[in-house]
A = this chain, B = another copy of it.
Amino acid sequence: MPESRIPAAQVRRFLATAFESLGLPRADAATVAELMTEAELQGSDGHGVIRLVPYARRIRAGGLNLHPDIRVVKEKAAMALVDGDNGMGHLVMKKAAEIAIAKAKQCGVAWVGSRVSNHAGPASLYARMCLRHDMVGMYFAVGNANHLPPWGGLDMLLSTNPIAVAVPAGEEPPVVLDMATTVAAYGKVKAKAQRGEQMPVGWMIDRQGQPLTDPKRAEEGFLMPIGGYKGYGLAMIVGLLAGTLNGAAMGSEVVDFNKDDTTITNTGQAIVAIDPDAFGELDAFKARVDKLVRELRASERMPGVDRIWMPGEQSHAKKLANEREGLALPRALHDQLDTFAREMGIPLLQDS
């Protein structure tokens, strides 16, 4: 099955029209379309275009507020707590990132948390927003479905709770870590299912502790945390910082948005902006990052290794290639978008 290559601008226009047809105000539809296309461009295919149909399902079921009053409910010089009023997470976290950046410009560092937010796409999207202001960005989120138990347990009370950190460089691409606290993110499991592929051993186990490799059986098992109990600890801590601290859902309060389209998810996230200019000369900092990147890349390599990659370097290369060559959407996804467009009476992706 050949994959079609579609210019990013066309995908962006299609998504904007799609969200407008679902009832989002034009400016909000454009923002969400922009961020989802950005996710697709950087290769976060589990958090990109594939999410349109589930988002649409929730919107039609009344589970998302199309006209939210996204507002700061608590504030100090270097922090804010944003109530997303159950709006789309992209809108909430874009606003949160803007507040964090403005406060960090004043205070050197700022931390903005969210509650009553929703799924906002890949973690790195928001950490990367800080890069445009020459800042370091960190992002934490409570995932929107629980897929792992506490270490030694069987009840799925924790999500993959991702961490992203973006660090600006000088001539080198920025260093961007974007990782789930599990060996694989659940979005990757869904992408495997969509592509009809099997998962590697080690991504999931079933309740008997046996490897689970069929992504269609994902509901029968749970994701494995990285480093065993360490990953469990990280998932819990990220949840405490992004969820519990903000009065957002954590543990059994987390709503499985794959199964439940109406209950308010009360998703919690946090973004931290750090201004390197407060710590010293910005250019000197960037030069030190470049030096480190080059030194790591130049390391002697293990047999069979062609290149040493920095965190985020492959996403960066993918983005450049996708911008040049267009986005490659799997046939099944393309068909799904066509069906959606016909249902909504909007132009097909290829006509957008």
Show the binding face of A for B, using Cβ within 8 Å. Answer: 74-79, 81, 106-111, 113, 136, 149-155, 157-158, 165, 167, 175, 177, 179, 183, 209, 226-227, 230-234, 236-237, 239-241, 244-247, 250-252, 272, 274-276, 278-280, 284-285, 288-289, 291-292, 295-297, 299-302, 305, 307-311
The 8 closest A-B pairs by CB, nearest first: A226-B227, A79-B108, A76-B108, A153-B299, A78-B78, A78-B107, A233-B311, A152-B305
Other-chain contact of A280, B74, B150, B305 (Cβ < 8 Å): B74
A230 x B179 contact (CB < 8 A): yes
Q: Is the CB of B241 within 8 A of A165?
A: yes
Say whether B109 contacts A285, CB under 8 Å: no
A165 to B270, CA, bound (A): 15
Contact B153 A300 (CB under 8 A): yes
Q: Once the chains bind, are A302 and B79 in contact (CB under 8 Å)? A: no
Instruction: Kindly state the separation between the CA atoms of A251 and B237 in the bound complex, as whole angstroms.
Output: 28
Residue from B154, B167, B301 in contact with A300 in the complex, judged by beta carbons closer than 8 Å: B154
Given contacts A154-B301, A227-B231, A302-B153, contact A79 B109 (CB under 8 A): yes
Judge whether A241 and B76 touch: CB under 8 Å.
no
Q: Contacts of A244 on B, CB cut-off 8 Å?
A: 285, 288-289, 292
- Please state if B109 and A110 are interface contacts (CB–CB under 8 Å): yes
6 contacts between A and B (CB under 8 A): A76-B275, A175-B240, A209-B302, A240-B292, A251-B291, A252-B295
Given A111-B108, A276-B245, A279-B245, A299:B227 Cβ within 8 A: no
Closest to A224 in B: B227
Q: Which of B175, B227, B307 contacts A183 (CB 8 A)?
A: B227
Whether B78 contacts A110 by the Cβ 8 Å rule is yes
Please give the distance in Å from A146's CB to the nearest CB on chain B: 11
Answer whether A251 and B292 are a contact pair too, CB < 8 Å, given A246-B279, A302-B153.
yes
With A77-B107, A226-B227, A302-B153 known to touch, is A175 a contact of B209 (CB < 8 Å)?
no
CA A18 – CA B97 in complex, angstroms?
A: 50
Which residues from chain B contact A301 at a C-beta distance below 8 Å?
152-154
A311 contacts B237, CB within 8 Å?
yes
Which residues from chain B contact A291 at a C-beta distance below 8 Å?
Answer: 251
